[in-house]
Structure 1
């Protein structure tokens, strides 16, 4: 599945459409609050945050995402928390600006929660680490990228995911090459083959 890239609104008809969508989302949010449907409420807060991101209203993005997280934490459901932390990170990861904001959702919130929920979430850990490595590469954070790339390799081996393992070896080779570690880069390129 291709990731949807969120671009800022430039045209007034797009802006009206997003504002209309925001009005609908807020009405739904009110209904979910009244009915005490916490999971749907959390998703509505997050959806409104995503629309505010597209409209480039940073303060409101943060406010709505924080409220979505608060509701998720209130439920005590770690799976809902995991889902919302990843989705919040995806808003920035798939966006056109402030992409580095996604890192805190993946690294500081979703990944630790995925690790504490046990082995049944190894696939999710791998998915989160892959997003984190990709984001770190665009932000040119090679040292941290190297650390997470090693995690991706370990998780790929644990899962027996040969394709992801080869991608991880190739990524490690490129990172070591960029850091000037020629021998290590060559070693990982050979492992990728």
Structure 2
């Protein structure tokens, strides 16, 4: 079974104090209406696993999904939707920044960006929060089916050039409609989990040898 196919909903929280203590996790974040929920559903081959709202900004909580073996996918609240109260936007921003910077269980970030409008100011702010942690970032340029072949190539090259000097960040095109790019996401995220497990095993062996 592929990495995402066994994904199951675990819990939802609206306060960092309620986050699960156990496990390692990969977070999915993105601007509202960038296709984050659709991407998760496509990866999991499940039409309603992550809620897709016709009103961007509806998802206001942190949703946890379980891969098994204490591996988690964390669906973070969409950001950047203007038609919500300032108090709610402030809550989201505080929640996201504190989670991204301080969450020890977090091993990597999948940043969802609409391929027609990548690297908005808010996307860059997310990266500014997260990149100092030194953990990997994988950018999904979604809705690539809405671009021509030449536009896809141009967009991918432009975003890759943005991070040419930063091996921490990788980039790919993705289409939920065409189910294109699924295997690459599985390879990248799976490698993150494998690397952490390898480090943990090495530490356990070192401890046992003392």
TM-score clears 0.5: no
* TM-score, normalisation: structure 2: 0.32
- Counting strand residues as a fraction of each chain, which structure ranks higher? 2
Give the number of the structure whose alpha-carbon radius of gyration is greater.
1
- Counting helix residues as a fraction of each chain, which structure ranks higher? 1
* TM-score, normalisation: structure 1: 0.34
